[in-house]
């Protein structure tokens, strides 16, 4: 595979984006960009610095203050704010409950999209970027675009399994796994860069597919587009 490649993978929470994207990046020798972690990191900073995340103007005025950086190594992606590793704190229930509100602020999206594009430009072989507007807004000319989806039951089960593996208590697991529908509605209905399938994206329903089957399908698509 020659030349920089951009693979845009979008989809709702629990569809398998992060796991699939990292595996595809590893298989193809590309960088990996978890854009959702960037929105979570900014949300975490706002919450910890007393900014009312439900006040769009306050969020807009503060969103350019912290330095948010996402490492692109697929074998060990990192996320830092002002040089501090926040990979753990950004996965809390509090951040999860507020990240959609922060992500809906146009100034937030404009700032992070700029950082996301710079991250892709810094990846010598190319990058696999996962999120909610990769194919529609951030990388409209991506080499390959994929929209992952899954049934609500499958997505909730996956999210619950992920949380349990991290030692999250059962009450929180039920609350966070059951919150997927609310997040879908918020992300799909926002005015700024809503969650949507790009017109030229290939949709893959992961409900009844294994990880290897999904990765094989995406890798095959990328190789097909590169050789076209």
**129-141 residue pLDDT tens:** 999 999 999 999 9
Angle at 13 between CA 164 and CA 181, to 5 degrees: 95
CATH architecture of 5-227: 3-Layer(aba) Sandwich (3.40)
Secondary element (H or E) of residue 155? helix 152-165
Q: What SS3 state is found at 107?
A: helix
* pTM assigned to the model: 0.85
Give pairs for 215-219: CB < 8 Å, separation 24+.
215/20, 215/23, 215/24, 215/27, 218/7, 218/9, 218/20, 218/24, 218/144, 218/146, 219/24, 219/27, 219/28
Q: 128: which strand partners?
A: 7, 32
Give, for all 228 residues of the chain, the pLDDT tens digit. Answer: 456 899 999 998 878 898 999 999 999 999 999 999 999 999 999 999 999 999 999 999 999 999 999 999 999 999 999 999 999 999 998 998 899 999 999 999 999 999 999 988 888 889 999 999 999 999 999 999 999 998 888 887 777 777 677 776 777 666 665 666 667 666 666 666 677 899 999 999 999 999 999 999 999 999 999 997
Domain boundaries, the chain: 5-227
Answer yes or no: are the C-beta atoms of 119 and 127 closer than 8 Å: yes
Cα–Cα nearest to 33, from 147, 149, 115, 151? 115
Helix 152-165 / helix 170-177 crossing angle, nearest 10 deg: 150
């Amino acid at each position: 595979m020659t030349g920089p490649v951009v693979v845009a993978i979008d989809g709702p929470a629990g569809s398998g984006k992060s796991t699939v994207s990292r595996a595809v990046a590893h298989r193809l020798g590309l960088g990996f960009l978890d854009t959702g972690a960037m929105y979570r990191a900014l949300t975490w900073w706002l919450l910890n610095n007393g900014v009312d995340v439900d006040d769009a103007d306050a969020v807009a005025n503060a969103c350019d203050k912290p330095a948010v950086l996402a490492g692109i190594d697929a074998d060990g992606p990192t996320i830092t704010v002002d040089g501090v590793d926040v990979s753990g704190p950004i996965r809390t229930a509090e951040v999860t409950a507020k990240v959609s509100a922060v992500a809906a602020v146009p100034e937030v999206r404009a700032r992070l999209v700029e950082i996301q594009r710079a991250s892709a430009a810094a990846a010598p072989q190319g990058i696999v970027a996962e999120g909610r507007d990769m194919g529609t807004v951030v990388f409209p000319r991506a080499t390959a675009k994929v929209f992952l989806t899954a049934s609500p039951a499958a997505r909730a089960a996956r999210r619950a399994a992920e949380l349990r593996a991290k030692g999250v208590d059962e009450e929180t697991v039920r609350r966070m796994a059951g919150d997927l529908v609310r997040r879908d509605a918020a992300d799909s209905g926002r005015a700024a860069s809503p969650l949507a399938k790009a017109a030229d994206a290939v949709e893959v329903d992961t409900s009844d597919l294994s990880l290897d089957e999904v990765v094989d399908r995406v890798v095959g698509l990328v190789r097909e587009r590169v050789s076209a």
